[in-house]
Amino acid sequence: MDEQDRKEPILSVRNLSKRFPGVQALDGVSLDIYAGEVHVLMGENGAGKSTLMKILAGVYKADEGEIRIDGQLVAPENPLQAMALGVNLINQELGVATNLTVAENVFMGSEPHRFGVIDRHQMAIRTQEVLKKLGASFQPEVRASLLKVAEQQQVDIARALVHNGRVLIMDEPTAALSEREIDRLFDLVRSLREQGLAIVYISHRLAEVSVIADRVSVLRDGQYIGTVTKDNMDNETIVKMMVGRSLKDFYEHQTAEKKEDNYLVVKHVSDGKRVKDVSFQAAAGEILALSGLVGSGRTELARLIFGADKPLTGEVIVEGRKLTITSPKDAIHQGIGYVPEDRKTEGLFLGMSSQENIVMNIMEQKARFGILNRKENGSITDHAIKQLNIKLSNPRNAALSLSGGNQQKLLLARWLQIKPRVLILDEPTRGVDVGAKSEIYKLIGEIAQNGVAVVFISSELPEVVGLAQRVLVMREGRITAELRGPEQINQEIIMAYATGIRKPDYTFSA
């Protein structure tokens, strides 16, 4: 008998349903959460994960069903009531006020008073106690604006603990963290689990599941599909539960026939800091991966090629012609596209419409006497939406309203408008659900088939192995290995070069 069968859940939901105009977000979902476990919740965007969590956290109210904590029926009507019941939600977009100190953030809205005045001394003492429990290295009086993202995350967790939180809901907590910060977060999550907290952990990353989860539950189209335990969870099972098809179909894409081996040639590129004398070539129609650990120089190299940063040395050659690139505008005019790692701050104009985002890179050439042709823009937009299967209610609505996967497809649609000769993709599926990932992989294959040299950066090794025809491994600003074929392109060999276990073995020839 499973341990959970012998104890009562700390939190349980039964037949929970929630409907928004035109959408059944949750449909009769039942779930049990136990103290001292990490319960991972997975599902595609739109599966109902966030709606369920917001109901538990008092942001939304369910249309039907019941919530029980320690067997007692509850119905939190706002986040403060949920916190009083011990349920705390830590959003992907952290709720830290950067103009306040750590202690002020921890006690925001519930400051202790003495003789009618806020007791800042008591706030500092209690905050320090919680920070010590979390293993935090910063002090209560530090202003939150000086903290890294991972440290701000600890502030959010400290707020939950100081209010006697018992259920901690973490929504995509690793989305903005480096690999080292992720390891520290996992250590913290395990520590909180050992202290008896129930952790509900929402993630899109299959690689995280086996590392952190005690159980995994899957939602699909607003319905509960099932739960697997640590003893019987595997990627194949979870993917099939999420999208209704097997993992072997996941990376399926057409492989283009490579043309012109030296279509893109990068020679002796350096920035004097993170990128050190990098040279490589890519063929037209090739999918080339840049792999390596965070900090290896992959993103910095991409930005140098695109003109977002200024190189100290080096040249970029496309179709035998040396390009002069002093800015991203130069790169765009010469057929080089770049999808950045952070689509929200560096890629999309979130406050602008989806249509405006799609035509942004060709707006200058499409304008006549400074006036845009609305009919032509509409036609271009409609074609892009259909081509990339972007799900949206109205192309004139702000890009902010789209899901993560559809935002990423929107960004890809913009770059396809320039008809790129070279397309650089930096973490093209970060924060994207499994179904959207599969669509993006198929799209990358189609782009390569059209003769584009595709250079992509990914920290997900299964993605590198599944997509790349060739892999360049970077370490400490240099390329250390060039890997070809299934015998070489595997996770163990990539990591061996990325970590320095294997000595550099790369010679450039173009």
What are the tens digits of pLDDT across the range 260-279? Answer: 778 999 999 999 889 999 99
Q: Which of the two residues, 6 and 131, has the higher pLDDT score?
A: 131
Radius of gyration in angstroms for the set of CA atoms belonging to the chain, rounded to a whole number: 25
Domains 3-96+147-248 and 250-335+419-510 share a fold: yes
Query: Parallel, antiparallel, or unpaired: how do β-strands 167-171 and 87-90 relate?
Result: parallel
Residue 353, pLDDT > 70, answer yes
* Extents of the domains making up the chain: 3-96+147-248, 250-335+419-510, 348-417
Q: What's 250-335+419-510's CATH class? A: alpha beta
Length reported for the chain: 510
Q: Is 452 exposed, middle or buried (0-12, 13-18, 19+ CB in 10 A)?
A: buried
Question: Mean per-residue pLDDT for 229-244?
Answer: 82
What is the model's pLDDT at position 250? 62
CATH class of 3-96+147-248: alpha beta
Sign for the CA dihedral angle at 153, 60, 199, 201 comes to: negative
Q: Is the pLDDT of residue 1 over 50?
A: no
| pLDDT on residue 481 | 96
CA 12-166-152 angle, to 5 degrees, is 120
Q: Which of 45-49, 68-72, 139-143 has the lowest average pLDDT? A: 45-49
CA distance 205 to 506: 31
Asked if residue 90 has pLDDT above 90, the reply is no
- Reported as a single tens digit per residue, the pLDDT across 408-459 is 889 999 999 999 999 999 999 887 777 778 888 989 999 999 999 999 999 8
∠ Cα 460 465 466 (to 5°)? 95
What tens digit of pLDDT does each residue of 283-317 get? 999 999 999 987 899 999 999 999 999 999 999 99
CA distance 447 to 401: 26
